[in-house]
């Protein structure tokens, strides 16, 4: 039986950040992250967060991948939202950048949440954050 060749590399994460907006400059292709944050504050619950961006920079990826982003409420492992996109990486030595622009995310209650990133159904990394009542303080 012929060999299938070497396994495709599994991506690793260089960075994952949450922000209000991402802008890709047309001339250079550089990405600007506007309003990077660690917490979401809400006056009442449930709350709908209108827009946010998840920026991820991946290394050691080569070829085509199905990239899944999941939003999980950590206290009970409830999947709040998820989506999948196709991404192609030309060279595993050159990091690739992904932007997920999300709208109308509903948070039923305050607590810890996590965005989890998967490549071809294999976990890559997660980024946790806190949804807090307005006026509450958090510790990092």
**What is the residue extent of each domain of the chain?**
12-133
- So what's the pLDDT on residue 137? 59
- The answer to whether the CB of 76 falls within 8 A of the CB of 22 is no
In the prediction, which pLDDT does 92 show?
A: 87
Cβ atoms within 10 Å of 101's Cβ, excluding its own: 10
Q: What pLDDT score was predicted for residue 8?
A: 80
Q: What is the mean pLDDT of each run of 10 residues along the chain (140 residues)?
A: 64 96 93 96 94 96 96 97 94 92 95 98 97 73
β partners of residue 113: 73, 129
Q: State the pLDDT at residue 3.
A: 47
pLDDT on residue 45:
94
Distance between CA atoms of residues 67 and 88, nearest Å = 10
Note the CATH number of domain 12-133.
2.60.40.2550
């Amino acid at each position: 039986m012929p060999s299938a060749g070497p396994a495709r590399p599994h991506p690793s994460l260089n960075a994952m950040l949450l922000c209000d907006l991402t802008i890709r400059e047309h001339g250079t292709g550089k990405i600007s992250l506007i309003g990077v944050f660690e917490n979401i504050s809400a006056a009442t619950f449930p709350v709908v967060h209108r827009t946010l961006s998840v920026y991820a920079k991946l290394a050691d990826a080569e070829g085509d991948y199905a990239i899944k982003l999941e939003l999980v409420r950590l206290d009970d492992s409830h999947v709040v939202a998820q989506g999948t996109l196709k991404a192609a990486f030309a060279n595993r030595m050159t990091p690739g950048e992904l932007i997920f622009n999300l709208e109308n995310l509903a948070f039923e209650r305050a607590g810890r949440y996590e965005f989890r990133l998967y490549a071809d159904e294999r976990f890559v990394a997660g980024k946790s954050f806190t949804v807090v009542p307005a006026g509450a303080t958090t510790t990092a």
